[in-house]
Structure 1
């Protein structure tokens, strides 16, 4: 059963175009120029109960706007959406008690107060029973190992510690749906790993539905099996994470280690040289040529070790972002011509 249902969802903004200069500013008081920004351009999407879905795209693709629509922060220009049967922008209390939104660049905790005080406020807002509140808070603080920090002012916490507190605040009322917008942005590798580990464990135990946006592909690889890619406000891919590499990478990376500690000088005939540090070489080879190239290399040279790998996920996703943006622009031009 789909927990999130989206049909033809659109969101556009009118933005005032301010011109430079004193006279332009003065005339702008009487004759303003605007331009339309189409942040979301009619997307359709279903997310099943218990799924952990990555919602990816380049900056300005419409990811955060979509999450704001689904959380009821803003209303759409057109289209429909239901989350757990609720229309988000109707902002009913019943709906607001059943979902949570965490934005990596926004704080929901009081800056100068200990996190424990903000948690008590959340208890009152969501009307959480004292016994349930204490049990949930103890569980979350133990999982995230922040019990010793509860009475420390939020402004004195590190970025990673603050994000842990933000997650606790979002999960205190045990939401059924969680929207995560860049939860690991700006965090170091250790903090990212800790957040990933917690989210993976929590989602597996609670079976909640999570929609995640992130520019860190390690987040996606560690947490999500399904990937939705959006560009220019339109969904360009919806499928498995493995399918992204299989469908959109045009090459593989061939790593060779030569027996004589010397690198041959004519390897560029097989593909693009990525790295050549004797006795190892990495070559980017077209997928369709990999069998032929391997056969030729093993016949012509003394090779001690060989490996064939898919390109890094970050590289494939970046190329897909570019392709998706270009395809979306072509679609827009076709619509305009029509």
Structure 2
């Protein structure tokens, strides 16, 4: 018997997904052998994942490639049926794909598109208006809002295939959110975009969350997306949830210690700073190094006493560094 947090927008208990993967040796003979004696193996893509998301919560969903992130999102959006466990989203069982459920959720995949390639984006928006039975008043109000926030003026009537990647991604987001869903599953929404466009997409997602109180679960390899939007982090590794907490606690999982940044009045060499810590970087009168967490106060005092320091700050290591330490650059088994 599982319990659900009252009013949870997304409820997941012991969610599992197993695949049967068929294997074949290369070449013509391999194809013949596979035809006669087909070999297969079971792959556990998701293994007993459990969590609850509250209405309006923005959560970062992290993990190495192949860890089960996209598989989990596909199960929560109803595209895949789970092999076991329980999932409820906005009060619905996703695998049933009921019309009222589909009106409350959206799935945006940065590497997939829903817009019609040879038609203007505006035509795809009108198709979505009909599919979701959006009233003319709501449609036009939402379009005015999205056009202003995303800067869509001037591109809505261009063929999708003639749009830049950034323009296309903005139109994809607008199309996916046109029906004002309450639960957003965003899988790499800024992939391939330049820095300015990434920030535009983040600002739009933040604005949508605040305006409509939507629940957002976000996967991204750009840690800036996660740190800018989410305070709670879920980390999945090899199909299992290995961390559920805030960014500060995730940073504390790293073994690399704290990052000390210095503004000096007199330059020093990297070799000299290496006496106080590791991973030393010097750029003119600016420097930084990593010191053990347990020795931050003592090392900082030594730096202030020994060097001509104008300013000193102590920070947690970048989230990218922590993730690299946790996973060691490995990838989970792909399916």
Distance 1:247 1:264 in 2: 27
CA distance in 1, matches of 2:90, 2:168: 29
Question: How high is the TM-score relative to the length of structure 1?
Answer: 0.91
Query: C-alpha offsets along residues 86-121 of structure 1, whole Å, 9 cap, x if unaligned?
Result: 110111112111111111001101000001111111
Counterparts of 1:274-293 in structure 2 under 5 Å?
A: 274-293=280-299
* Counterpart Cα distance in 2 of 1:57 and 1:29: 36
Report how far residue 264 of structure 1 moved: 7.6
Q: Which of 87, 91, 96 does residue 85 from structure 1 map onto?
A: 91
- Give the SS at the match of 1:235: strand
Preserved contact between residue 256 and residue 290 of structure 2 (Cα < 8 Å): no
Residue correspondence of structure 1 range 1-338 to structure 2 within 5 A: 1-263=7-269, 265-322=271-328
3-state SS in 1 of match to 2:328: helix
Give the total of aligned pairs.
327
What's the secondary structure of 1:175's corresponding residue? Answer: coil
SS at the partner of 2:192?
coil
Whether the 8 Å contact between 1:56 and 1:230 is mirrored in structure 2 is yes
Alignment TM-score, normalising by the size of structure 2: 0.92
Q: 2:289 & 2:249 partners in 1: Cα distance?
A: 23
Question: 5+ residue gaps in structure 1?
Answer: 330-338
Q: Is the 1:267–1:273 Cα contact (8 Å) retained in structure 2?
A: no
SS at 2:35's partner residue? coil
Distance in 1 of aligned mates of 2:95 and 2:130: 23
Q: List gaps (5 residues or longer) in structure 2.
A: 1-6
Find the aligned partners of 1:151 and 1:219 in 2 and give their Cα distance: 29
Tell me which residue corresponds to 2:4: none
Q: CA deviation at 1:252?
A: 1.3
Contact 1:263 1:280 in 2 (8 A): no
Alpha-carbon offset, residue 221 of structure 1: 1.1
Q: CA deviation at 1:85?
A: 1.4
Secondary structure of 2:295's aligned partner: helix
With over 3 angstroms needed to count, the CA separation of the structure-2 counterparts of 1:117 and 1:277, relative to structure 1, is closer
Give the direction of change, closer, same or farther, for the CA distance of 1:289–1:111 in structure 2 (3 Å limit): same
Runs of 4+ that moved beyond 6 A: none
Query: Per-residue deviation at 1:274?
Result: 2.0
Q: 1:199 to 1:31 in 2, by over 3 A?
A: same
1:158 Cα deviation after fit: 0.8
Q: Distance in 2 between matches of 1:247 and 1:174?
A: 37
| Structure 1 vs Structure 2 CA RMSD | 2.0
CA distance in 1, matches of 2:324, 2:181: 33
Query: Distance between the aligned counterparts of 2:132 and 2:140, measured in 1?
Result: 14
CA contact (8 A) 2:256 2:317 kept: no
Deviation at 1:254, TM superposition (A): 2.2
8 Å CA contact retained: 2:59, 2:230: yes
CA displacement 1:44-94 (0-9 Å, x = unmatched): 110001111111111001000000000100101111101111110111112
